[in-house]
A and B are shown apart, each in its own frame.
Chain A
Amino acid sequence: MIPQGPRLGNDPSRFRLEGTPVISVMLGSMLTALPIIAQSPVMPPVGLLLLLSWRLLRPELWQAWIALPLGLFDDLMSGQPLGSAMFLWTVTLIAIDSSERRLLWRDYWQDWLIAAIAIIVCLSGGLLFARLTGGGGTIDLILPQIVWSTLLFPFVARQCAWLDRWRIMA
């Protein structure tokens, strides 16, 4: 379904321009509220995938600090210790910012690579923090999650682009 085009002389509202990305990431984090009683970390971190998609699609949209409130919200929803996603997501966004100064050319594959590295860092960091605060498990536990989160990223980025098109059209 392709979104309807803009009506002449209309601008999208400010809330729609700035709220859509934030709300979509928060809804992604809230997917853990679905009544799925998982026996192992099976669900991809959809909030993180959406954050990365928006960041790589629209570099000018957010400053790096946006990951602080979004990460805090994700921690509240996910059951990870508070501060885990807050730290990891912010560090990820800062790292993406600094990587953009070095890369001369960007294409689809590089975006995927950046997202894959970010997913690996965030999920293994989350495992580390969970272990520090009384949990357990080894890297084997999150390997499947890393794999299908990485494979899912292009799909999420695609949906994000679709949403972006709706966002900037009034």
Chain B
Amino acid sequence: MARPPSRRPGHNRKAQYSLFASYVVAVSGALIGLLLIGVAIFDPTGFAVIRGGAAEITRPISATLKGLVRGVGSADEWVVAYINAGSQNAALRRQVDINRTRLIEAAAIQQENIRLKKLLKLVEAEKDEVVAARIISSSASSTRRFARLNAGKAQDVQPGMPVRAPEGLVGRIYTSGINTAEVLLLTDSSNVVPVRRAKDDIAAISTGRDDGSVEIRPLTAGNNPFKPGDVMVTSGIGGLYRPNIPVAIVVRIRGDIAIGVPLANPARVEAVMVQRPYEVSVSRPETPSAAASLHPNTDASPATPAATTPPAAATPPTASNNTARATP
């Protein structure tokens, strides 16, 4: 095959100029592209409005198709479950018996937990769930790990909110548009989650590896304490994720880090929950009486904190004597 017709316009001046102009436009446009990336280096969530607008356009398509293909992702599991039905049934029965006992224990522990929290005056807001929504698409051709959520600012979804599924943590909201939001998945390498081992309190940091797994790096020095099969849960440090959300299960040890797989696979989960950041929903109330009992000297009249509130009444008599002696 001969080479394609040359684009060189010969002696036609006008054609020469127009060709030249087209290259000027192309090169300057490419430079603008570089400039946009430069902006994104300093402000990665910039241009969220434009992106959100584009996501709004594709949202109806993605949401409709998501409704159609539900269950296809787990078709292999259905087949395997059918083949192993008999033996699996017996195993599951035994498991259910064991779990029933554990559930009763867990309920008791939960009761105790609520009581202890009340004792600590640590109050949790009644409602920490913002909205439950579907994940409708993802950045399948990019190396970043984003997923698109079918809910946005109109449903009160704000950037930074944790996203979880019943199985475990999924990620957090990166940017949010009107009716869609981008979720930074657990497996993106810019998503860092403070975790601990579920059975004891060995703290670690989980970072995404961009390939569907996470890297779990223990905070303690010395040799790697983790073993394959260890379940990691959020530790609640940092105040974003509430404690004890399942995160990942360790599958492999590599030197001083462990490689884990997230427990909630975003491709499998039916719906995810957007939660409020933990530090917002948990607070220690600063009532005037508590403040007064903490700083007795600042209060001018000694009579007010003494009799009215229980915390002040519970203070040891020596302390009240001291304040009484100090104030006159």
**Stretch of A17-25, A27-35, A160-168 that contacts chain B:** A27-35
Q: A32-B140, A78-B139, A136-B190 are in contact. Are A101 and B4 (CB under 8 A)?
A: no
Find out whether the CB atom of B1 lies under 8 angstroms from the CB atom of A127.
no
28 contacts between A and B (CB under 8 A): A30-B61, A32-B137, A32-B142, A35-B62, A35-B65, A35-B137, A38-B138, A39-B211, A41-B143, A60-B7, A65-B29, A68-B26, A68-B33, A79-B139, A80-B142, A81-B44, A82-B50, A84-B33, A87-B34, A90-B30, A94-B30, A103-B3, A106-B1, A132-B37, A134-B190, A135-B190, A141-B143, A145-B141
Contact with B along A57-96 (1 / 0, CB 8 A): 0011001110110010000111111111011101101100
> Given the complex of chains A and B, what is the CA–CA distance between A33 and B39 in angstroms?
26
Find out whether the CB atom of B267 lies under 8 angstroms from the CB atom of A130.
no
Q: Which of B55-91 contact A (CB under 8 A)?
A: 58, 61-62, 65-66, 69, 73
A3 within 8 A of B: no
Enumerate chain A residues within 8 angstroms of B2, measured Cβ to Cβ.
105-106
Enumerate chain B residues within 8 angstroms of A127, measured Cβ to Cβ.
143
Which listed residue (B3, B58, B182, B265) contacts A105, Cβ 8 A? B3
**Stretch of B100-108, B112-120, B144-152, B218-226 that contacts chain A:** B144-152
Q: Which of B17-58 contact A (CB under 8 A)?
A: 19, 22-23, 25-27, 29-30, 32-37, 39-41, 44, 47, 50-51, 54, 58
> Given the complex of chains A and B, what is the CA–CA distance between A39 and B209 in angstroms?
10
Find out whether the CB atom of A133 lies under 8 angstroms from the CB atom of B69.
no
B310 within 8 A of A: no
Find out whether the CB atom of A133 lies under 8 angstroms from the CB atom of B189.
no
A9 within 8 A of B: no
Q: A81-B44, A100-B3 are in contact. List 18 more A-B contacts (CB 8 A).
A: A32-B137, A32-B141, A37-B138, A39-B265, A60-B7, A63-B26, A68-B30, A76-B54, A79-B182, A81-B37, A83-B32, A83-B37, A94-B23, A126-B142, A130-B143, A130-B144, A136-B189, A136-B190
Q: Give the top 3 A-B pairs by smallest Cβ distance, nearest first.
A: A136-B189, A83-B36, A79-B139
> Given the complex of chains A and B, what is the CA–CA distance between A170 and B177 in angstroms?
42
B208 within 8 A of A: yes
Query: Smallest CB–CB gap between B170 and chain A, Å?
Result: 10
- Range for the number of chain A residues in contact with chain B: 35 or more
Which listed residue (A39, A126, A137) contacts B267, Cβ 8 A? A39
Q: A41-B142, A80-B144, A86-B29 are in contact. Are A65 and B266 (CB under 8 A)?
A: no
Query: Smallest CB–CB gap between B223 and chain A, Å?
Result: 26
Find out whether the CB atom of A59 lies under 8 angstroms from the CB atom of B7.
yes
Find out whether the CB atom of B51 lies under 8 angstroms from the CB atom of A76.
yes
A32, A46, A94, A105 — which one has the most chain B CB atoms within 10 A of its CB?
A32
Find out whether the CB atom of A35 lies under 8 angstroms from the CB atom of B1.
no
Enumerate chain B residues within 8 angstroms of A141, measured Cβ to Cβ.
143, 210-211
Interface, chain A (partner B; CB < 8 A): 30-46, 59-60, 63-65, 67-68, 71, 76-84, 86-88, 90-91, 93-94, 97, 100-101, 103-108, 126-127, 129-137, 141-142, 145
Find out whether the CB atom of B40 lies under 8 angstroms from the CB atom of A37.
no
Enumerate chain A residues within 8 angstroms of B27, measured Cβ to Cβ.
90, 94
Find out whether the CB atom of A87 lies under 8 angstroms from the CB atom of B138.
no
Find out whether the CB atom of B4 lies under 8 angstroms from the CB atom of A135.
no
> Given the complex of chains A and B, what is the CA–CA distance between A67 and B24 in angstroms?
13
Enumerate chain B residues within 8 angstroms of A83, measured Cβ to Cβ.
32-37, 39-40
Q: A34-B65, A59-B4 are in contact. Are A44 and B29 (CB under 8 A)?
A: no
Enumerate chain A residues within 8 angstroms of B136, measured Cβ to Cβ.
35
Find out whether the CB atom of A41 lies under 8 angstroms from the CB atom of B141.
yes
Enumerate chain A residues within 8 angstroms of B66, measured Cβ to Cβ.
35
Find out whether the CB atom of B51 lies under 8 angstroms from the CB atom of A137.
no
Enumerate chain B residues within 8 angstroms of A82, measured Cβ to Cβ.
36-37, 40, 47, 50-51
